[in-house]
Amino acid sequence: MSKRYFGTDGIRGQVGSWPITAEFMLKLGRAAGAVLRRSGDRPVVLIGKDTRISGYMFESALEAGLLAAGAEVRLLGPMPTPGVAYLTRSMRADAGIVISASHNPHQDNGIKFFSAIGEKLDDDVEHAIEAELEAQFTTVGSQAIGKAMRIDDASARYLEFCKSTVSRAFNLHGMHLVLDCAHGATYQIAPKMFSELGARVTAIGNRPDGLNINRDCGSTHPQHLSRTVLESGADLGIAFDGDGDRLQMVDASGRLVDGDELLYLLAMDWHAQGRLRGPLVGTLMSNFGLERAMRELDVPFLRTKVGDRYVMQALREHEGVLGGETSGHILCLDRVSTGDAIVSALQVLEALARSGASLADSVSGMQKVPQTTVNIRAEGGVGLIADAEVQGVLAAVEAELAGHGRVVLRPSGTEPLVRVTVEHNDADVVARLVEQLAAAVRAAQARVS
């Protein structure tokens, strides 16, 4: 059964447009609280948020709805998404809620839920919440209304947890790091933690004003980070996204090191340490160079649909511990229950400390295949992809690439986009074929508009 509101990464959209409204969030809070109360106990729900200005409004609305359903609410304030997942588990809460649209601009916002064990909700729970949204808004009796309180030491708890994921002997003494916090949820925690571990930290993207989250900064816009690393002579740069679950890095020469290369680095280190269990899991978008490198290492490599929830499912099914996406969602499941950019960065830095090699040298063994993605802004992406003429061009592209490359045509799960990706050893072939297929999608869009 399809869902009306929940997508691959919670509920997301433009602020002020249904369902990203205060009215809907009030109803959502009540619906979630009502579903959680079916266990018979008074549920405890944590609420964290990133730094976008609409978070104040949605935090209050969700809080009111949850209290009306008889749930207890614990307010965490600005907190990375994985921090909410960790605290939900460690504080024995029944659920966690994050108010964030991840790497999107401030005009967007969204809601992510975590279960009591710090993982994304099962489909049946999301279906139950959606069904409860259709019910009349009611408030429990006055004696059963919940209470809310703020957790003042939430950031300190999460910071200490992050440090606990690496060896006590590990430190960053003598390293100069540039951190780009995307004016988002990591803006306080990340600089403090890396400094406490001994690094000299230059922080950028650490002055949120509610409107500048992800604006020309962070993991989706690493150009400023690259320049700062070069200008400051830093050892490397680390970029987070607005809610702290995506990680990209920059080496000392200012070159971007993406999620595929970071997965390669971790897989090589963990394999040598005997820590890598099961397959390495990527997605349809993972560069073929990563798959080829794992084949040479004799490590199984699996691909899933795009979305960290699908990577998580595959890792659980095959008892794996490491996987992720090119975008920098990296899952280190022997350390955390969800994608955590700070923890992933620590894992990379610990691997570099073990090898004594630079970031550039550590990823040099993976030879990436030229890959280009074109994003076409369009509503109704599924219909455009199913268009007969688009399918005809897709078949022709696949025939030309057969045995020598890959093509991926898919709607985005988080934005109104159709993504066209082509991969081939010859960059000129990539450029020609990706534009050919993108043109077919644009033509289909023009026919229905």
Contact 258, 358 (CB under 8 A): no
Q: Is 102 a catalytic residue?
A: yes
Count of beta carbons in the 10 Å neighbourhood of residue 24:
20
Length of the chain measured in residues: 449
Q: Which of 227, 208, 261, 219 is nearest to 50 (CA)?
A: 208
What does 265-284 look like in DSSP terms, one character per residue? HHHHHHHHHT---S-EEEET
Count of beta carbons in the 10 Å neighbourhood of residue 122:
10
Choosing from 54, 100, 102, 337, the catalytic residue is 102
Instruction: Identify the three-state secondary structure at position 416.
Output: coil
Query: Which residue pairs, CB below 8 angstroms and at least 24 apart, start in 139-147?
Result: 139/68, 139/69, 140/68, 140/69, 140/70, 144/42, 144/70, 145/67, 145/68, 145/70, 146/33, 146/42, 146/66, 146/67, 146/69, 146/70, 146/71, 146/72, 146/73, 147/67, 147/72, 147/73
Instruction: Identify the three-state secondary structure at position 304.
Output: strand
> What is the distance between the alpha carbons of residues 140 and 380, in angstroms, rounded to a whole number?
40
The residue with tokens 């579903």 is: 35
Give the count of alpha carbons within 13 A of 32, CB side only: 33
Read off the tokens for 354: 């073990």
Q: Apex CA 381: angle with CA 379 and CA 387, to 5°?
A: 120
Catalytic site positions: 102
